[in-house]
Structure 1
Protein backbone atom coordinates (compact mmCIF):
# COMPACT_ATOMS: atom_id res chain seq x y z
CA UNK A 1 0.00 0.00 0.00
CA UNK A 2 1.39 3.37 -1.04
CA UNK A 3 0.57 6.76 0.46
CA UNK A 4 1.48 10.31 -0.58
CA UNK A 5 2.15 12.99 2.04
CA UNK A 6 3.20 16.60 1.93
CA UNK A 7 5.84 16.96 4.63
CA UNK A 8 5.60 19.89 6.99
CA UNK A 9 8.94 19.31 8.68
CA UNK A 10 11.56 16.83 7.56
CA UNK A 11 13.33 14.68 10.11
CA UNK A 12 17.02 13.92 9.68
CA UNK A 13 16.14 10.30 8.92
CA UNK A 14 13.65 11.33 6.21
CA UNK A 15 16.19 13.74 4.73
CA UNK A 16 18.84 11.01 4.63
CA UNK A 17 16.44 8.68 2.80
CA UNK A 18 15.41 11.42 0.36
CA UNK A 19 19.05 12.19 -0.39
CA UNK A 20 19.77 8.51 -1.08
CA UNK A 21 16.92 8.45 -3.60
CA UNK A 22 18.07 11.78 -5.09
CA UNK A 23 21.64 10.65 -5.73
CA UNK A 24 20.59 7.21 -7.03
CA UNK A 25 17.99 8.80 -9.32
CA UNK A 26 20.29 11.42 -10.78
CA UNK A 27 23.18 9.05 -11.43
CA UNK A 28 20.82 6.56 -13.07
CA UNK A 29 18.81 9.04 -15.18
CA UNK A 30 21.75 11.21 -16.22
CA UNK A 31 24.43 8.82 -17.44
CA UNK A 32 25.64 11.67 -19.67
CA UNK A 33 26.76 13.64 -16.58
CA UNK A 34 29.60 12.48 -14.33
CA UNK A 35 28.41 11.03 -10.99
CA UNK A 36 31.00 13.32 -9.39
CA UNK A 37 28.81 16.30 -10.35
CA UNK A 38 25.91 14.92 -8.30
CA UNK A 39 28.16 14.02 -5.35
CA UNK A 40 29.65 17.53 -5.39
CA UNK A 41 26.17 19.08 -5.22
CA UNK A 42 24.75 16.81 -2.55
CA UNK A 43 25.17 19.21 0.39
CA UNK A 44 23.70 22.16 -1.52
CA UNK A 45 20.68 20.08 -2.52
CA UNK A 46 20.30 18.84 1.06
CA UNK A 47 20.04 22.47 2.22
CA UNK A 48 17.58 23.31 -0.59
CA UNK A 49 15.37 20.34 0.27
CA UNK A 50 15.18 21.51 3.86
CA UNK A 51 13.54 24.77 2.69
CA UNK A 52 11.41 23.32 -0.12
CA UNK A 53 7.95 21.83 -0.16
CA UNK A 54 8.48 18.08 -0.23
CA UNK A 55 5.96 15.42 -1.18
CA UNK A 56 6.87 11.84 -0.37
CA UNK A 57 5.40 8.56 -1.45
CA UNK A 58 5.73 5.86 1.16
CA UNK A 59 5.13 2.14 1.27
CA UNK A 60 3.38 0.86 4.39
CA UNK A 61 3.27 4.44 5.78
CA UNK A 62 6.93 4.65 6.77
CA UNK A 63 9.33 3.59 4.02
CA UNK A 64 9.99 6.48 1.59
CA UNK A 65 10.20 5.15 -1.98
CA UNK A 66 9.95 8.45 -3.83
CA UNK A 67 9.65 12.19 -3.50
CA UNK A 68 9.19 15.47 -5.30
CA UNK A 69 10.59 18.87 -4.33
CA UNK A 70 8.97 22.20 -5.14
CA UNK A 71 10.17 25.76 -4.65
CA UNK A 72 7.26 28.16 -5.14
CA UNK A 73 5.82 26.66 -8.34
CA UNK A 74 9.11 25.24 -9.69
CA UNK A 75 9.11 21.45 -9.65
CA UNK A 76 12.75 20.63 -8.94
CA UNK A 77 12.21 16.96 -9.66
CA UNK A 78 10.36 13.73 -9.11
CA UNK A 79 12.46 10.82 -7.92
CA UNK A 80 11.25 7.26 -7.50
CA UNK A 81 13.52 4.54 -6.12
CA UNK A 82 14.62 2.23 -8.92
CA UNK A 83 12.83 -0.85 -7.50
CA UNK A 84 9.51 1.06 -7.59
CA UNK A 85 9.74 2.73 -11.00
CA UNK A 86 7.30 1.97 -13.83
CA UNK A 87 4.46 1.30 -11.40
CA UNK A 88 2.66 4.63 -11.89
CA UNK A 89 4.00 6.15 -8.68
CA UNK A 90 5.56 9.17 -10.39
CA UNK A 91 2.24 9.94 -12.07
CA UNK A 92 0.39 9.55 -8.75
CA UNK A 93 2.85 11.89 -7.08
CA UNK A 94 2.55 14.46 -9.87
CA UNK A 95 -1.25 14.30 -9.83
CA UNK A 96 -1.24 14.92 -6.07
CA UNK A 97 1.02 17.95 -6.53
CA UNK A 98 -1.21 19.31 -9.30
CA UNK A 99 -4.10 19.44 -6.81
CA UNK A 100 -2.16 22.02 -4.76
CA UNK A 101 -0.89 24.22 -7.61
CA UNK A 102 -2.42 26.13 -10.50
CA UNK A 103 0.81 26.18 -12.47
CA UNK A 104 4.16 24.38 -12.43
CA UNK A 105 7.49 24.87 -14.19
CA UNK A 106 10.45 22.52 -14.43
CA UNK A 107 13.68 22.00 -16.34
CA UNK A 108 14.71 18.71 -17.89
CA UNK A 109 17.89 17.77 -19.73
CA UNK A 110 17.25 17.15 -23.43
CA UNK A 111 19.18 13.89 -23.25
CA UNK A 112 16.83 12.62 -20.53
CA UNK A 113 14.28 11.37 -23.06
CA UNK A 114 12.25 9.33 -20.58
CA UNK A 115 11.71 12.33 -18.27
CA UNK A 116 10.75 14.56 -21.20
CA UNK A 117 8.27 11.95 -22.42
CA UNK A 118 6.84 11.56 -18.90
CA UNK A 119 6.17 15.27 -18.51
CA UNK A 120 4.76 15.65 -22.03
CA UNK A 121 2.43 12.71 -21.35
CA UNK A 122 1.32 14.51 -18.17
CA UNK A 123 0.21 17.73 -19.89
CA UNK A 124 3.43 19.75 -19.65
CA UNK A 125 4.46 21.76 -22.70
CA UNK A 126 7.92 22.82 -23.79
CA UNK A 127 8.70 26.51 -23.56
CA UNK A 128 12.40 27.36 -23.89
CA UNK A 129 15.76 25.63 -24.11
CA UNK A 130 19.01 26.85 -22.61
CA UNK A 131 22.50 25.71 -21.75
CA UNK A 132 23.08 24.55 -18.18
CA UNK A 133 26.52 26.08 -17.66
CA UNK A 134 27.31 23.79 -14.70
CA UNK A 135 26.99 20.62 -16.79
CA UNK A 136 27.37 21.87 -20.36
CA UNK A 137 24.06 20.18 -21.23
CA UNK A 138 21.03 21.66 -22.96
CA UNK A 139 17.89 21.68 -20.83
CA UNK A 140 14.31 22.49 -21.72
CA UNK A 141 11.94 24.42 -19.51
CA UNK A 142 8.48 22.89 -19.39
CA UNK A 143 5.22 24.34 -18.13
CA UNK A 144 1.88 23.04 -16.89
CA UNK A 145 -1.20 25.10 -16.08
CA UNK A 146 -4.45 23.92 -14.48
CA UNK A 147 -7.33 24.05 -16.95
Structure 2
Protein backbone atom coordinates (compact mmCIF):
# COMPACT_ATOMS: atom_id res chain seq x y z
CA UNK A 1 0.00 0.00 0.00
CA UNK A 2 1.29 3.45 -0.89
CA UNK A 3 0.67 6.28 1.54
CA UNK A 4 2.26 9.47 2.77
CA UNK A 5 5.08 9.17 5.29
CA UNK A 6 4.19 8.89 8.95
CA UNK A 7 7.04 10.93 10.45
CA UNK A 8 7.30 8.47 13.36
CA UNK A 9 8.77 6.00 10.83
CA UNK A 10 11.53 8.31 9.63
CA UNK A 11 14.24 6.02 11.07
CA UNK A 12 12.96 3.15 8.88
CA UNK A 13 13.15 5.44 5.86
CA UNK A 14 16.65 6.59 6.73
CA UNK A 15 17.87 3.01 7.18
CA UNK A 16 16.72 2.22 3.64
CA UNK A 17 18.22 5.49 2.37
CA UNK A 18 21.65 4.74 3.87
CA UNK A 19 21.78 1.05 2.93
CA UNK A 20 20.65 1.54 -0.65
CA UNK A 21 22.86 4.55 -1.35
CA UNK A 22 25.88 2.57 -0.18
CA UNK A 23 24.79 -0.53 -2.17
CA UNK A 24 23.98 1.33 -5.40
CA UNK A 25 26.92 3.71 -5.36
CA UNK A 26 30.03 1.63 -4.70
CA UNK A 27 31.97 4.26 -6.67
CA UNK A 28 31.33 6.85 -3.92
CA UNK A 29 33.00 6.49 -0.51
CA UNK A 30 30.66 5.25 2.24
CA UNK A 31 31.61 8.20 4.45
CA UNK A 32 29.98 10.58 1.93
CA UNK A 33 26.58 9.03 2.68
CA UNK A 34 27.30 8.90 6.41
CA UNK A 35 28.24 12.60 6.38
CA UNK A 36 24.95 13.50 4.65
CA UNK A 37 22.69 11.32 6.82
CA UNK A 38 21.57 14.01 9.30
CA UNK A 39 21.08 16.59 6.55
CA UNK A 40 18.73 14.26 4.66
CA UNK A 41 16.91 13.24 7.84
CA UNK A 42 16.30 16.91 8.70
CA UNK A 43 15.14 17.70 5.14
CA UNK A 44 12.71 14.77 4.78
CA UNK A 45 9.82 16.37 6.69
CA UNK A 46 9.89 19.25 4.16
CA UNK A 47 9.42 16.89 1.20
CA UNK A 48 6.37 15.00 0.01
CA UNK A 49 7.28 11.40 0.80
CA UNK A 50 5.26 8.42 -0.37
CA UNK A 51 6.06 5.06 1.20
CA UNK A 52 5.30 1.54 0.05
CA UNK A 53 4.30 -0.33 3.16
CA UNK A 54 3.22 -3.95 3.43
CA UNK A 55 2.54 -5.93 6.62
CA UNK A 56 3.61 -2.87 8.67
CA UNK A 57 7.03 -2.87 6.97
CA UNK A 58 8.27 -0.03 4.79
CA UNK A 59 9.73 -1.61 1.66
CA UNK A 60 10.46 1.55 -0.31
CA UNK A 61 9.85 5.27 -0.61
CA UNK A 62 10.04 8.25 -2.95
CA UNK A 63 10.60 11.88 -2.00
CA UNK A 64 9.46 14.87 -4.05
CA UNK A 65 10.58 18.47 -3.47
CA UNK A 66 9.60 21.68 -5.27
CA UNK A 67 6.51 19.93 -6.75
CA UNK A 68 8.50 18.11 -9.42
CA UNK A 69 11.98 17.03 -8.33
CA UNK A 70 12.49 13.43 -7.26
CA UNK A 71 15.03 13.82 -4.48
CA UNK A 72 15.22 10.05 -4.07
CA UNK A 73 13.56 6.73 -4.85
CA UNK A 74 14.71 3.80 -2.77
CA UNK A 75 13.52 0.23 -2.42
CA UNK A 76 15.01 -2.05 0.20
CA UNK A 77 17.38 -4.47 -1.53
CA UNK A 78 15.44 -7.59 -0.52
CA UNK A 79 12.32 -6.21 -2.25
CA UNK A 80 13.89 -4.86 -5.44
CA UNK A 81 12.68 -6.12 -8.83
CA UNK A 82 9.15 -6.67 -7.48
CA UNK A 83 7.57 -3.59 -9.06
CA UNK A 84 7.64 -1.42 -5.94
CA UNK A 85 9.74 1.35 -7.50
CA UNK A 86 7.44 1.47 -10.52
CA UNK A 87 4.37 1.71 -8.30
CA UNK A 88 5.92 4.57 -6.35
CA UNK A 89 6.78 6.38 -9.60
CA UNK A 90 3.27 5.81 -10.95
CA UNK A 91 1.83 7.35 -7.77
CA UNK A 92 3.92 10.47 -8.36
CA UNK A 93 2.94 10.60 -12.04
CA UNK A 94 -0.69 10.80 -10.89
CA UNK A 95 0.13 13.83 -8.73
CA UNK A 96 2.62 15.71 -10.89
CA UNK A 97 2.52 16.35 -14.67
CA UNK A 98 6.31 16.92 -14.78
CA UNK A 99 9.06 15.10 -12.89
CA UNK A 100 12.81 15.63 -12.88
CA UNK A 101 15.70 13.88 -11.16
CA UNK A 102 19.45 13.46 -11.18
CA UNK A 103 21.03 10.02 -11.29
CA UNK A 104 24.66 8.96 -11.40
CA UNK A 105 25.68 7.75 -14.86
CA UNK A 106 27.51 4.78 -13.29
CA UNK A 107 24.29 3.65 -11.60
CA UNK A 108 23.16 1.83 -14.75
CA UNK A 109 20.40 -0.09 -12.98
CA UNK A 110 18.75 3.19 -11.97
CA UNK A 111 19.34 4.88 -15.34
CA UNK A 112 17.72 1.95 -17.13
CA UNK A 113 14.86 1.85 -14.62
CA UNK A 114 14.01 5.49 -15.26
CA UNK A 115 14.29 5.08 -19.05
CA UNK A 116 11.92 2.11 -18.83
CA UNK A 117 9.46 4.39 -17.02
CA UNK A 118 9.51 7.10 -19.67
CA UNK A 119 12.25 9.41 -18.40
CA UNK A 120 14.64 10.95 -20.91
CA UNK A 121 18.16 12.23 -20.35
CA UNK A 122 18.09 16.01 -20.63
CA UNK A 123 21.62 16.88 -19.55
CA UNK A 124 24.92 15.34 -18.45
CA UNK A 125 26.91 17.15 -15.77
CA UNK A 126 29.42 16.68 -12.98
CA UNK A 127 28.09 16.46 -9.44
CA UNK A 128 29.73 19.23 -7.41
CA UNK A 129 30.18 17.16 -4.25
CA UNK A 130 31.28 13.79 -5.62
CA UNK A 131 32.81 14.87 -8.97
CA UNK A 132 30.93 11.96 -10.57
CA UNK A 133 29.01 12.34 -13.83
CA UNK A 134 25.26 12.39 -13.43
CA UNK A 135 22.30 12.67 -15.77
CA UNK A 136 19.41 15.05 -15.34
CA UNK A 137 16.37 13.11 -16.49
CA UNK A 138 12.81 14.30 -17.09
CA UNK A 139 9.37 12.85 -17.55
CA UNK A 140 6.36 14.82 -18.75
CA UNK A 141 2.72 13.82 -18.95
CA UNK A 142 1.74 13.45 -22.58
CA UNK A 143 -1.36 15.42 -23.48
Residue of structure 1 aligned with 2:65, choices 63, 71, 74: 71
TM-score (norm 2): 0.96
How many residues end up aligned between the 2 structures?
Answer: 141
Shift of 1:6: 2.1
Give, in whole Å, the separation in 2 of the partners of 1:125 and 1:6: 27
| 1:27 has 2:25 as partner | no
Equivalent runs, 1:28-43 vs 2, <5 Å: 28-43=23-38
Partner Cα separation in structure 2 for residue 56 and residue 76 of structure 1: 14
User: If the length of structure 1 is used for normalisation, what is the TM-score?
Assistant: 0.93
Q: Give the unaligned 5+ runs of structure 2.
A: none
Task: Write out the 4+ residue segments of structure 1 that deviate beyond 2 Å after TM superposition.
Answer: none
Q: How does 1:33-112 map to 2 (within 5 A)?
A: 33-60=28-55, 62-72=56-66, 73-112=68-107
Task: Tell me which residue corresponds to 1:138.
Answer: 133
| Gapped regions of structure 1 (runs ≥ 5) | none
